Structure formats: structure tokens, C-alpha cells
Structure 1
Amino acid sequence: MKKIGFLSFGHWTPSPQSQTQCAADTLLQSIDLAVEAERLGVDGAYFRVHHFARQLASPFPLLAAVGAKTSTIEIGTAVIDMRYENPHYMAEDAGAADLIAGGRLQLGISRGSPEQVIDGWRYFGYRPEEGESDAEMGRRHAREFFELLRGQGFAQPNPRPMFPNPPGLLRLEPHSDGLRDRIWWGAGSNATAVWAAKLGMNLQSSTLKDDETGEPFHVQQAAQIRAFRAAWKEAGHARTPRVSVSRSIFALMDDRDRAYFGRGGQEGDKIGFIDQSTRAIFGRSYAAEPDVLVEQLREDEAIAEADTLLLTVPNQLGVEYNVHVLEAILTTVAPALGWR
């Protein structure tokens, strides 16, 4: 059995071809899609976070709204760029959203990805410490956030407070028990996957990672997952970790599907560079008739290793079409592969 969720980047553009013309369209349709996905039996509604772009950014209002409108579906991010985050304020926001959702948040965090602007985190008031890179700053923010979610007191109370305090040092409120076990690290390399395992975070791996061996993407990603699980076991954590991978997968069921995704050109991995220095490998997309799709996906080693699959959705094509995309995977592909 495999949990299946959708992942939306939340694009919008003022174009006649787009069903999301503005930010309000994207936000409201994201809520509607989560409601419809829950009705279909989809396990998770996940959203990407990008700053300075016509895409979803500040995630917690959206997560709280989805939490208030649904009752069973997991609600998450993939991922929040921790270079932009105040760990203390984020712990409060996350606690509040998780309580509204009844403990269904699954927060993916990371050091971030290539940006729309140069060093955008500087505009948010953050600077790396002396000798620290921006990636290291992101991981530092992540450690602070992860530690705050323990819910332990750390702040000295005012001896003359406005309201009575509980005894001892004070923690951030609202606190949500159990949220700490539902934090995921978006790892772009084997080393950061191991780092996350040692800390006790779950693993999110997308369709992009450092090209560390020259092997096909899915083979490298599967090796990353195995390295994560080995490090988790060595660290001696009590619970079983979760691992997700994301994929663009489209079952060609009708003429619309074939018009949008049936033209080919995405059948192989691609090589590129991040920040002009890091060689990266980009995983392929899948689009085929259901029987062909099943055979192709059978060969994907990383999907086989993961317990959770996030399907990236073309949100600009609207809620109705994306429900169709998700339903096609749930009814034709997932059962044939034993995911359901």
C-alpha cells in the first residue's frame, strides 16, 4: 500500500488559457481541489512554496483553510524554504494550523531551491552568520524550528505578567503535540538525506537531485532513500520514518489528456546546473495509456522504495481537470501496481 497525494505549485498568470488568472483564483481553487481530492480518496494535499513569483508563497493561511474545510486528508508542503523563515514565528503558525486541521499537517521544509531574485532571503531580514553559507543558514533555521516543536519551555517569564503564567519557563503557543513527528526534509543530496535522518525528520525527495553517480535519476533517488533509512536505523529513533517522492504522471484517457500531455518529449532524465556550480539530474515525466504507464512505473526504483507518492498537478488547468487527472491514476494505475 502506498499513500498518494497531489502536489500543486500554485501557478497563476493573467492569460486566457489559464484557469488561475490571479492569486485569489489559485488560493481558492487550491482549497476546492483539496476538498475534491479528499472525496476521491486521495491521501494528501501538498503545496509548493516560492517567493517573489506568481505562485503560492506564505503557506499557513492556505493550510489552515484547507484544514477547516476537510476532515481526513493530510495537508502539507513540499517544501518551505527555511532561509526565509523565522523559526519561532513559524512554530506558532504551524501549531495553529495543525490544531485547526486536527493534527493532519505534514510539513516539508528545506534549504530552498533556485530563486526568482538574487538572495531573496535578505529582503526578509536574514543574513548568514560569519563563515556560513545561505544553505547552512537554512539548515540552522530548520534545526531551531524542529527543536521548538518539542514544546519545552525556554523563555524566562515576566515576574509581573499581564496574565497568569504556568510554572517554569514558557514555551511558544499554541503548541500541537505530535507535529514534530510530521516534519519532512526536502533533500537534494544523499548527504542532506542522512543529515535529516540523524535529526529525526521524514524524507521528501522530488524530481530534482544532485547528480552524484551518473546513474538514471530513479536509481540515484532509490539509493538516497536507502541511505536515509540506514542513517535513521543507526540513529536509533523509535518510530518508523516516512519517505515521499514526487512525479508528474498522466494517464492518457481522452482527447484532452492527449492534447495536453500526449506529445512526448519528457521520456528521459535531463542534466542541468543549479547556481552555476552543482550538477543536477531532473527526473522524467510519465504520460501514456494506462497499461503502458503501469509497465513504465514498475521500473521506477524510487517509487517502489517510497511509502508516499506526490503527483504534481497542472493547477492552471482548473479544479475539474485536475480531479480527472487524479481519478485516472487512482482507478487505473494505482490498483494495477498494488498501490491501492
Structure 2
Amino acid sequence: MKKIGFLSFGHWSPARGSGTRSARDALLQSIELAVAAEELGLDGAYVRVHHFARQLASPFPLLAAIGARTSRIEIGTAVIDMRYENPFHMAEDAGAADLIAGGRLQLGLSRGSPEQVIDGWRHFGHLPSEGESDADMARRHAEIFLALLAGEGFAEPNPRPMFPNPPGLLRLEPHSEGLRERIWWGAATDATAVWAAKLGMNLQSSTLKFDESGEPLSVQQARQIRAYRAAWKEAGHAGEPRVSVSRSIFALVTDQDRAYFGGSGEGGDSIGYIDADTRAVFGRSYAAEPDRLIEELARDEAVAEADTLLLTVPNQLGVDYNAHVLEAILTHVAPGLGWR
């Protein structure tokens, strides 16, 4: 059995043919797709966060709105760029959204990816400390955020407060019990996956990874997942961690599917560069008739290793078509792989 969710980048564009022409469209359609996904029986609705782009950016109002419209489905991010985040303000926003959702948030964080502007986090008031890289700053923000979610008091109360205080040091409010255990880290390397395991975070592995061996993405991701689980066990954490991988998967069951995606699954992984000098392997798209799709996905080592699969969706094709894409996977593919 495997949990299956969707992952939307929330692109919007007024270009001809786009069904998501404005930021309002992207936000409202994200909510409606989450509602539709819950009705179909999916397990998760996840969004990506990018700044200075025509995509979803500020996640917590959207997560709270989805939480208020749904009752069962997990609601998450994959991922929030922690270079941009004030962990104190973020802890308050996350606590509020999680309480609205009834404890269903699954927050994926990361050190971030190349953005639309140069050092965009500087415009948000964040600067690396002396001798610290922007990636180091992101991990520092994440560690502060995790500590805040533990709910321990740390702030000295005012002796003459506006409102009565409980005894002892004060914590941030609202606090949502259990959210600390539902934090994930989007790791692009084996080393950061191990780091995440030591801190007790779940693991997200995307449709790309830094190329550390020259092997296919699924092979490198599977090795990363095994290293992560070994580090989790060595750290002595209670319980089992969760691991997700993201994939672009389209079951070709209608003529419209074939028109949109026929032939797009013929290629393999591709190689590119991040930040000009970091070689990365980008995963292939899967697009085929259901029987062939089942055979191909059965050979994906990382999908087999993960307990959660996030399906990237072409959100500009509209809610109805994306709901069809998700339903086709649940109906025609998941049972053949033992996921349902």
C-alpha cells in the first residue's frame, strides 16, 4: 500500500490556452483540486513554493483554506524555501493552519532551488552570518523552526503584561501538538538526507537530485532513501519515518490524454546544471497506456522504496482535467502495482 497525493507548482499565465490565467485562478483552483482529490480518495494535496514567479508563493493562507474545505486529506508543501523564512513568524502561521486543518499538515522544507532573482532572500530581510552560505542559513532557519514547534517556553514574560500569562517562560501561540513530527526535508543529496534523519524529519525526494554517481535518478534516489533510513535508525528515533518521491505520471486512457502527453514518456532521465556548476539528474516523465505504465513504474526503485508518491500535475489545464489525471492513476494504475 502506498499513499498517493498530488503536487502542484501553481503556475499561472494569461497566455492563450491557459486555464489558470491569474494568481486568483491558481489559488482558487488549488483549493478546488484538493477538494476533488479528497472526493476521489487521494491521500494528499501538496503545493510547491516559489518567490518572484507566477506560481504559488505564500503557502499558509492556501493551506488554511484547503484545511477548512476538506476533512481527511493530508495538506502539505513540497517544498518551502527556508532561506526566505522567519522561523518565528512561520511557526505561528503553521500552528494556525494546522489547527484549522485538524492536524493534517505535512510541511516539506528545503534549502531552496535557483530562484527568479539574484539572492531573493535578501529582499525578505535575511542574510547569511559570517562564513555561512545561503544553504547553511536555510538549514539554520529550519533548526530554529523545529525547536519552536516543540512548544517549549523560551521568552521571558513581561511583569506587567496586557493579558494574564501562564506561569513560566512563554512559547509562541497558537501551538499545534504533533506538528513537529510532520515536518519533512526535501533533500537533493545523500548527505542532506542523512542530516534530515538525524534531526527527526521525514524525507522528500523530488523529480531531480544532484548527480552523485552518474546512475539513473531512481537508482540514486533509492540509495539516498536507504541511507536516510539507516541514519534514522542510528539516531534512535521512535517510530518509522516517512519518505515521498515525486513523479510526473500520465495514464493515456482518452484521446485528450494522448493529444496532451502521447510521446512525452518516451525519453529517459536528463542531465542539467543548477547554480551553473552543480550537475543534476532530472527524472523522466511517465506517459503510456495503463498496462505499459504499470510495467515501467514497477522498475522504478525509488518509487518502490517510498511510502508516499506525489504526482505532479499540469495545473494550467484546469481542475476537471487534473482530477481526471489523478482518477486515471487511482483506477487504472495503482491497483496493478499493489498501491490500492
TM-score, scaled relative to structure 2:
0.99
- Give the Å deviation of 1:169: 0.2
Equivalent residues of 2:27, 2:62 under 8 A apart: yes
- Give the Å deviation of 1:311: 0.1
Shift in CA distance, 87/266, structure 1 to aligned 2, threshold 3 Å: farther
* Alignment-derived partner of residue 201 in structure 1: 201
| Partner secondary structure for residue 214 of structure 1 | coil
* Alignment-derived partner of residue 289 in structure 1: 289
- Give the Å deviation of 1:265: 6.1
Equivalent residues of 2:265, 2:286 under 8 A apart: no
User: Which ranges in structure 1 are unaligned for 5 or more consecutive residues?
Assistant: none
For the pair 1:150 / 2:150, whether they are aligned, the reply is yes
User: Which ranges in structure 2 are unaligned for 5 or more consecutive residues?
Assistant: none
Total equivalences in the alignment: 340
Equivalent residues of 2:265, 2:284 under 8 A apart: no
1:157-197 deviation line (CA, Å, top 9, x unaligned): 00000000000000000000000000000000000000000
* Alignment-derived partner of residue 164 in structure 2: 164
For the pair 1:25 / 2:25, whether they are aligned, the reply is yes
* Alignment-derived partner of residue 322 in structure 2: 322
TM-score, scaled relative to structure 1:
0.99
* Alignment-derived partner of residue 116 in structure 1: 116
Q: Distance in 2 between matches of 1:259 and 1:281?
A: 27
Q: Distance in 2 between matches of 1:134 and 1:62?
A: 27
Equivalent residues of 2:264, 2:286 under 8 A apart: no
* Alignment-derived partner of residue 69 in structure 2: 69
1:16-63 deviation line (CA, Å, top 9, x unaligned): 301100000010000000000000000000000000000000000000
% identity of equivalent residues: 80
Letter in 1 for 2:26: T
Q: Distance in 2 between matches of 1:83 and 1:266?
A: 36
Q: Where do 1:1-340 residues align within 5 Å?
A: 1-264=1-264, 267-340=267-340
Q: Distance in 2 between matches of 1:168 and 1:158?
A: 11
1:287-332 deviation line (CA, Å, top 9, x unaligned): 0000000000000000000000000000000000000000000001
| Partner secondary structure for residue 37 of structure 2 | helix
Letter in 1 for 2:287: A
- Give the Å deviation of 1:239: 1.7
1:60-82 deviation line (CA, Å, top 9, x unaligned): 00000000000000000000000
- Give the Å deviation of 1:3: 0.1
Q: Distance in 2 between matches of 1:139 and 1:267?
A: 35
4+ residue runs of structure 1 moved beyond 2 angstroms? 263-267
Letter in 1 for 2:61: P
- Give the Å deviation of 1:276: 1.0
- Give the Å deviation of 1:263: 2.5
Letter in 2 for 1:179: L
Q: Distance in 2 between matches of 1:333 and 1:87?
A: 40
- Give the Å deviation of 1:267: 2.2
- Give the Å deviation of 1:149: 0.3
